[in-house]
Structure 1
Amino acid sequence: MKKFLTLLLAIVLAMGVTACTNSEDKKTDNNKESKSKEKTVITVWRHSGKPEEQDNIKKQIEAFNSSNSDIEIKYEALPEGSYNDQVNAAALSKDLPDIFMLDGPNMSNYAWSGYLAPLDDYITDELKNDLLPSIVAQGTYNGKIYALGTFDSGLALWGNKAYLEKAGVRIPKSVEDAWTLDEFNDALEKLQGLEEVKYAIDFKINYGQGEWFTYGFSPIIQSFGGDLINRDTLAAEGSINGTKSVEALQWFQSLFEKGYANATQASDDDFYGTEKSSALSFVGHWMTVPHKEALGDNLVLIPMPKFGEKVVTGMGSWAWAISSQSKNPDAAWKVLEHLTSKENIKATSIATGAVPARKSVLGELENYGEDGLLYIYREQLEGGYALERPTTPAYPNITTNFAEAVNNIINGSDVKEQLDKAAVKIDQDIQDNNNYK
């Protein structure tokens, strides 16, 4: 009897152990299954930008998240004014997101600083060959691609056709037909004389001291024959404060002194939203939507003037990069691949007026056809009239000091004195960093 009871007890205990084991196995399997279903979260930062830009990117992210079973984008838009400072602070604290947007000219400094992961192993020949050469050039440092823009930029003059025709001002139809400096001065004088016009030209001074001053106004210097630095020696002395650069900004300053432009501009709609508007707006593609909505068929796009021997326009854009701190670069690339797809690049161009980064998309958009509203942007980029901002790790220092000089010049400071100060500061920074080798 004892043997029987002992045997029975052993069977019961064994069954209990088996049940527990099966239960634990099921829990383990369930945990494994649960973990396998967890999505890889890819954090993405972008500067805030205009409402149409935010609406566009949010739609692209929502589409990715709804159709992807193993990756989820966690998106954050940061204030534009302090965006670069926040990126630098995050890099130093090793708290960068997986993907972040950067202003193209800052790419070299970020790559030099080790903030970025190269993209060459991910980019196919098909994609690279379809990108505008300017997009590839902007994203390349030391022979490697670190950033991809989904668009390039357009810089030209927007005009109110009704005012131009009333003033008897010729409207250039192509870059080869661009205004000379004398013609431009004559046009400004005539437009300023119209009763409906308060300022002949809107220079978007409301953007404030910052990258706009370099992006927008350095092409004026370069068209005159100057530059921010010597691109062979990387020296600012003799270039940013050279004769041609000084001449360019003395002319620029004179427009404010004559009352043709507003040095204290505070509003973004001086070209179209006030009772006495500006006749011209010196700005980029990002104002296409509000300008078109306000002026309709009276809106015309005019090429950059030929201030000196050649027309020069700005180029470059905000671009996407994968952080070197990302723990999931393969998943990050899948997100970046989505953002740079033909479909999304086309959507971005339609939403913002930006020049699409892929050549195959450029041919699909009516606005960029020969009779399209934005064809001048395409002509300037494809025709070799665009000049990139200096692609050097020294660029953040170059643009900071140039923008400060321009701000002071707009407000009446001596042009040569301001550019001399900028040259000293830029060259000292380059020397302090051993030429950024």
Structure 2
Amino acid sequence: MRNPLAIVAAASLLATAVLTGCAKAGEDTASDDGPAKVTMWTHSAGNPGELAVYKQLIADFNASQDDYQVVQQNFPQGAYNDAITGAAAAKKLPCLLDMDGPIMPNWAWAGYLQPLDLPKTITDKLLPTAVGSYDGKIYSAGYWDAAMAIFARTSVLEKNKLRVPTIDRPWTQAEFDAALTTLKGAGYKTPVDLGAADTGEWWPYAYSSMLQSAGGDLIDRSTMKSADGVLNSPDSVRFLTWFQNAFEKGWADHAGPVGNQRFIDGKVALSYTGVWNAKDAVEKVGDDLAILPPVDFGKGAKIGGGSWQWGISTGCSGKAAEGARKYLEFSFQDKYLTAFSDSQVVIPATDSAAAASKYFGPNGKLKTFAELSKKFALSRPATPAYPVISTSFEKAAKAAMDGQDPKEALDEAVQSIDSDLKSNGYGD
């Protein structure tokens, strides 16, 4: 299936769009002659399961009342950010738009979005990582989240006398290192697939949570004004040194296909991957599949959180804006959250929706992911500088993987991030 991860693929285009200033989107389409038209854009073209749920949801909402009519337009994920950028520059954004969770603060700061103003009875029930806040206000909310885990085969762990980690007691870094050494000695050329062949937002999503587990972070979250002393802290350097060593020792490599195929084929013993690969793993590996928690690098296990969410554009006003909020309130019914979850294999944003899911409910084979998300998931930094943070961290981690001194790579990332923060006046 399509990776549901947020891909901040058009960071440079977004930065260019921000320079154009506030994007006062489309027009209020209310009229006295009929229902107010509420335009809605999604990134879901090419995802038939997700689109089928939206089709039913919109039909149900439109049939439930006579005041508003939601009209949907779908874009391929790869073209979506470009479409938003162009519409913002022309001040013709739709009323409703979905967005990758970590990009929301950039869009809110740029003037694309207005506060969501949904009832707290809705937002308080959602996973914290499914609610997007910036500058003390909620601007976005989502129906689901994704989560990371380590896939293993129980038979392989038992054969090599490795402790099976649990949510309450994940592997420590020392245990993980020992397990990788053991598995390499057992004949695995590459014991773990860390997913390093992937690109873009995967890098901060997958690896900055490891950085946080080690005690580092992408930015000083208490002020959101500098990465210095945090991204290049001793703890951050220690983690990136471990990351570099994992490749130098042959525990991991950056070859192979993106996804989980090498684990399914038995070429690697462990796979650090996401819930979007879990259904295939269950089908191919069966009852031998073990879904393990992330490694605790010293400060507690962590995983990335925050997937696609919904917001309302600043140009949506009057009856159309009223209709957009009514639609969102209607859409957060558990039956729709469960339908989105089961059509895409992503984690429902409420406990009650998860309980009804065939994958994440009490008897679901993927219920571990819902538990991992609740216990370990962290959002990426809520700052308009996130696109530059994302690309700077990716560059630093790849440079370290390829042999650059980790402290030097992180210092360069800090310089890029702090320069962006200063030049744009984020947080001033």
What's the TM-score once normalised by structure 2's chain length?
A: 0.83
Relative to structure 1, the CA distance from residue 326 to residue 225 in structure 2 (aligned partners, 3 Å threshold; closer, same or farther) is: same
- 1:312 counterpart = 2:302: yes
Using the TM superposition, give the Cα deviation of residue 36 of structure 1 relative to its aligned residue in structure 2, in angstroms.
4.7
What is the aligned length? 391
Structure 1 stretches lacking a partner, 5+ long: 1-34
Comparing 370-379 with 411-420, greater Cα deviation is found at 370-379
Q: How does 1:67-106 map to 2 (within 5 A)?
A: 68-69=62-63, 71-80=69-78, 83-106=80-103
Using the TM superposition, give the Cα deviation of residue 358 of structure 1 relative to its aligned residue in structure 2, in angstroms.
1.7
1:291 equivalent in structure 2: 281
Structure-1 separation of matches of 2:159 and 2:390: 39
Question: What is the one-letter code of the residue matched to 1:178?
Answer: P
- 1:220 counterpart = 2:213: no
Q: Secondary structure at the match of 2:124?
A: helix
Using the TM superposition, give the Cα deviation of residue 250 of structure 1 relative to its aligned residue in structure 2, in angstroms.
1.1
Structure-2 separation of matches of 1:268 and 1:277: 13
1:42–1:331: 8 Å Cα contact kept in structure 2?
no
1:191–1:200: 8 Å Cα contact kept in structure 2?
yes
Using the TM superposition, give the Cα deviation of residue 48 of structure 1 relative to its aligned residue in structure 2, in angstroms.
5.4
Structure-2 separation of matches of 1:95 and 1:264: 42
Q: How does 1:180-191 map to 2 (within 5 A)?
A: 180-191=172-183
- 1:56 counterpart = 2:50: yes
2:379 equivalent in structure 1: 388
- 1:417 counterpart = 2:408: yes
Q: Percent identity?
A: 35
Structure-1 separation of matches of 2:71 and 2:372: 36
Relative to structure 1, the CA distance from residue 302 to residue 126 in structure 2 (aligned partners, 3 Å threshold; closer, same or farther) is: same
- 1:337 counterpart = 2:329: yes
Using the TM superposition, give the Cα deviation of residue 354 of structure 1 relative to its aligned residue in structure 2, in angstroms.
2.2
Using the TM superposition, give the Cα deviation of residue 66 of structure 1 relative to its aligned residue in structure 2, in angstroms.
6.9
The structure richer in helix per residue is 1
Question: Given the alignment, which residue of 248, 269, 274 partners 1:279?
Answer: 269
1:154 equivalent in structure 2: 147
Structure-1 separation of matches of 2:218 and 2:384: 14
1:3 equivalent in structure 2: none
1:45–1:97: 8 Å Cα contact kept in structure 2?
no
1:114 equivalent in structure 2: 111
Relative to structure 1, the CA distance from residue 132 to residue 390 in structure 2 (aligned partners, 3 Å threshold; closer, same or farther) is: same
Relative to structure 1, the CA distance from residue 235 to residue 39 in structure 2 (aligned partners, 3 Å threshold; closer, same or farther) is: closer
Using the TM superposition, give the Cα deviation of residue 165 of structure 1 relative to its aligned residue in structure 2, in angstroms.
2.5
Structure 2 stretches lacking a partner, 5+ long: 1-31
Relative to structure 1, the CA distance from residue 38 to residue 319 in structure 2 (aligned partners, 3 Å threshold; closer, same or farther) is: closer
Deviation string, structure 1 residues 353-411 (Cα, Å, up to 9, x no partner): 3221123223334654677543443334434x333211112212211211121222222
- 1:192 counterpart = 2:192: no
Question: What is the one-letter code of the residue matched to 2:391?
Answer: T
Rg larger in structure = 1
Using the TM superposition, give the Cα deviation of residue 86 of structure 1 relative to its aligned residue in structure 2, in angstroms.
4.0
Relative to structure 1, the CA distance from residue 60 to residue 435 in structure 2 (aligned partners, 3 Å threshold; closer, same or farther) is: closer
Structure-2 separation of matches of 1:213 and 1:202: 14
Question: What is the one-letter code of the residue matched to 1:232?
Answer: S
Root-mean-square deviation (CA), in Å? 2.7
1:271–1:280: 8 Å Cα contact kept in structure 2?
no
Question: Given the alignment, which residue of 243, 252, 257 partners 2:243?
Answer: 252
Structure-1 separation of matches of 2:307 and 2:97: 14
1:406 equivalent in structure 2: 397
Q: Secondary structure at the match of 2:253?
A: coil
Structure-1 separation of matches of 2:76 and 2:315: 19
Question: Given the alignment, which residue of 165, 168, 176 partners 2:161?
Answer: 168
Structure-1 separation of matches of 2:398 and 2:80: 20
2:313 equivalent in structure 1: 323
2:39–2:72: 8 Å Cα contact kept in structure 1?
yes
Comparing 223-232 with 56-65, greater Cα deviation is found at 56-65
- 1:127 counterpart = 2:127: no
Q: Secondary structure at the match of 2:336?
A: helix
Using the TM superposition, give the Cα deviation of residue 343 of structure 1 relative to its aligned residue in structure 2, in angstroms.
0.9
Using the TM superposition, give the Cα deviation of residue 277 of structure 1 relative to its aligned residue in structure 2, in angstroms.
2.3
Deviation string, structure 1 residues 284-332 (Cα, Å, up to 9, x no partner): 2222222222212122210111111322222211111122233622333
Structure-2 separation of matches of 1:339 and 1:412: 48
Comparing 403-412 with 109-118, greater Cα deviation is found at 403-412
Comparing 186-195 with 304-313, greater Cα deviation is found at 186-195
Structure-2 separation of matches of 1:213 and 1:206: 10
What's the TM-score once normalised by structure 1's chain length?
A: 0.81
Using the TM superposition, give the Cα deviation of residue 43 of structure 1 relative to its aligned residue in structure 2, in angstroms.
2.9
2:355–2:362: 8 Å Cα contact kept in structure 1?
no
